[in-house]
Structure 1
Amino acid sequence: MTLSPTRLRVIRAAAALTAGATLFVGGPVGAALAAPPAAVAAAVDHSLHLEGAPNARDVGGYSTVDGKTVKTGAVFRTDALNKLTPADLTKLEGLNVKVVDDLRTVYERVLQPDKLPAGATSNWYDVLGKASPATAADLSLAYVAFIEAPGASEAFASVLRDIRETDGSVLYHCSQGKDRTGWTTAVLLTILGVDRATVNADYMLTNEYVEEGGSSLTGSLGGAGVKQEWLDSSFATADAKYGSFDNYVREGLGLTDADIAALKAKLLV
């Protein structure tokens, strides 16, 4: 398989993170930074190849530090669904999408109303509706707000509970599929035991799929693409506020040991 220059950069970055970074999560929830970098995972094509949502991806396919694999076809992350084509909707129907979780504000939802695949129900979990208006223009503030803003933790936790409970696949999204959606994915993969280098590489793939999709993904929360420092700030804020990622999951998100076990049982093979 021939890798694009962007993907090669992602692989090299993941390897560098594995060699030099120190992970501050531990215990049964968080995964220690493992020796195997994200090279194999990053070489997998996670894109759903939706014409109307170029940043739509399968969250599965990644390996955990204890040798398991995150199931494919169970959880999807996407950008806004308002431009989905009939073929895109048919593809999502074929992927058995039963729940669509929308992380956007009411303003975004009015501007870009979702198109839903047949048979899917929609939930609205507004992450930043109660955050400072400054977060819409300053992503460094937004990624802190993901941890600290009123209602944000409840929104992220609701997505995780939907994943646990849904008989079928779950799709969650924001406007650009990179920030609120990116943190949701980072939390989920870390809970499942995926190492930080791979979590980082998955997050940075937005820059490749935006490039390949020919879309700037400009919208209500920042411009195109992502930066590693933004994701790092969310992890650092969770650690500072709760003492560890494990505590963030249990105290901030309110997930119990039974919730975590159920997510792992459903999504790991």
Structure 2
Amino acid sequence: MKNNIMPECLLPLSGAVNFRDMGGLATKDGRKVKKGLLFRAAELTGLTDEDVSLLETLQLKRVFDYRRQKEAERKPDPPLGSAILERVSAISEENIATNMFVKDDGFNADYYRQFTVERFLKIYTEMPIQNPSYKRLMMLLKSPEENLPLVHHCTGGRDRTGVGAMLILMTMGVPYETVLGDYLLSNLTLAERHQTIFEKASQYFTPEEYKQLINAFPLREDYLHAAYNAILRNYGDFDTYIAEEFGISEEVRENIKNYCLE
């Protein structure tokens, strides 16, 4: 995928993919999320010296990692200036989505056969409710003066990071439809990674198995819908959700908005 068709929010890094500035999105009240405050990304372990130099200009205060322990041990985050590195796993240790971009000499066909639409829908339905990782993320957001700029990331920067981005952006008043479009952008920024997996799978899968993978594996609207609908089902509306789940009062929310919006 050539850089000239990639979105402006994508940072020009050679050792990491899907590293995006979350700024520029419009809120319901006509303001926009400031650029240079909130970033989302895939794994960071491959960052080059030039990449690190570029990222240090962002003066990040926090790197928040959604990965499980084994993922982080296998591909640790490099230091980025004086940023505090923190990891709180967003999904259970045995969850299939934690290993989806593992690169090795072989191809674990049985692993990729587990990817079904139903499985992803279950993961997304569970993620936003009583999740220690998102509770910690939103705790950091509640004190933007102390903790931003921040980058949050997982392995591909799409599922766990996608739900985290939804929570951050909707707290600042970005409409769900806009958040959904930003979420689906990972299908573009990760297109080469997805295609590599599909090409490997085609060598091992039956036509039916392959069809299932290419249907289920890319990000779909109904995946994020599942997370959002779980919030509505459990709390009635998003405002009640962030108040009860994260202790974000209207006063705290206004402070977040005033700091992060322009």
User: Into which bin does the TM-score normalised by the smaller protein fall?
Assistant: 0.7 to 0.9
1:151 corresponding residue in structure 2: 132
- Structure 1's 133 and 76: CA in aligned 2 closer, same or farther, altered over 3 A? closer
| Structure 1 residue matching 2:142: 3-state secondary structure | helix
Q: Residue 215 of structure 1 corresponds to which residue in structure 2?
A: 193
> Following the alignment from structure 2 to structure 1, what is the Cα–Cα distance between the partners of residues 95 and 148?
36
- Which residue does the alignment assign to 1:268? 261
Per-residue Cα deviation, 1:218-269 (whole angstroms, up to 9, x for no partner): 7xxx986411111000000000011111111111222222321121011111
1:226 counterpart = 2:219: yes
The match for 2:142 is 161
Q: How far is 1:149 from its partner?
A: 5.2
- Aligned match of 2:91: 128
Aligned partners of 1:103 and 1:49: how far apart in 2? 23
Please state whether the residue corresponding to 1:250 is helix, strand or coil.
helix
Shift of residue 153, structure 1, vs aligned partner: 4.2
CA RMSD of aligned residues (A): 2.5
The structure with the larger Rg is 2
Alignment partner of 1:235 is 2:228? yes
Choose from 161, 165, 186 the match for 1:206: 186
Alignment of 1:17-36 (within 5 A): none
Kindly report which structure 2 residues correspond to 1:56-205, keeping only aligned pairs within 5 A, or say none. Answer: 56-129=19-92, 133=95, 138-148=119-129, 150-161=131-142, 164-166=144-146, 168-205=148-185
* Counterpart for residue 251 of structure 2: 258
Q: Amino acid of the residue matched to residue 154 of structure 1?
A: K
Name the aligned partner's letter for residue 139 of structure 1: F
- Sequence identity percentage: 27
What is the aligned partner in structure 2 of residue 46 from structure 1?
9
TM-score, scaled relative to structure 2? 0.76
Unaligned ranges ≥5, structure 1: 8-43
Paired with 2:31 and 2:91, the residues of 1 have a C-alpha distance of 34
Q: Do the aligned partners of 2:41 and 2:153 also contact (CA within 8 Å) in 1?
A: yes
Match of 2:107 in 1: none
Shift of 1:147: 2.3
How far apart in 1 are the matches of 2:63 and 2:134? 18
SS in 2 for 1:46: coil
What CA deviation, in whole Å up to 9, does each residue of 1:26-62 have, x standing for no partner?
xxxxxxxxxxxxxxxxxx6110122222100000011
Change (3 A) 1:150 1:195: closer
* Residues 141-176 of structure 1: per-residue CA shift (max 9 Å, x gap): 2211212355244244234236x2436511111111
Give yes or no for contact 1:51–1:85 (8 Å, CA) kept in 2.
yes
Paired residue total? 222
Mapped to 2, the partners of 1:165 and 1:260 lie a distance apart of 13
Superposed structure 1 runs of 4+ greater than 6 Å apart: none
* 8 A Cα contact 2:66 2:133, kept in partner: no
